[in-house]
Amino acid sequence: MSEIDETAGMSEAGRHEWELMVAGEVYQDSHPDIERKRAEAKKLFVEYNKTDYEDVERRREIMEQLFKSVGEDVFIEPNFRCEVGRNITIGSHAYINFDCVMLDNAPITLGDYVWIAPMVGLFATNHALDFEERKNGACQAKPIVIGNGVWLGGHVSVLGGVTIGDGAVIGAGSVVTRDIPANSIAVGNPARVLREITEADRTGFMERIGQRERGL
């Protein structure tokens, strides 16, 4: 996938606001150049959401145009929506279920084998608390990192600045406001770690499948 200069064609002020945005500083979300990037992304994800499941090549082409990077064997159900798209990196073997929203004003990174249930939101950006600043477009975005093998349950919300460690499971309806360690189960609003995932959580599924494949 070729590198794209996202600030190409922007005004000097627009380029400055974009650079502030991805750096995690307060930026003008309503700047016309950022609005244009938002409109470009919308055209792509609207087209993607209209594609047929069997149109694998076209779906892949759109993903490569929309995202910064996308791995192999990535499947996204409609209706997927995002902010600018080009700040999203998706690893291989990811499955993103229906109605996912990613507000990627700051980088959003998904590892390999990430599974996202329906109606999950990854919200990297936040409006200013002060009303005068907020109504004039002040926002601040922080990166989100979802590690390898993470499973996000239905209706989970992940806020900016959060890293979820490899293999973690986030229970349905949770709001993740702080980092979650690897191989742990977290639930609630705000999400809190319940416990570590251990060998005791294995059900014997892999052994049963292995026996079937060996004809036993």
Indicate which residue of 16, 93, 127, 155 is catalytic: 127
Nearest to 148 by CA among 45, 58, 71: 71
Residue 16 among the catalytic residues? no
In the structure encoding, which two tokens stand for residue 201, read together?
């959580």
Distance CA 64, CA 58 (A): 10
Q: Are 125 and 103 in contact (CB under 8 A)?
A: yes
Active site residues: 127
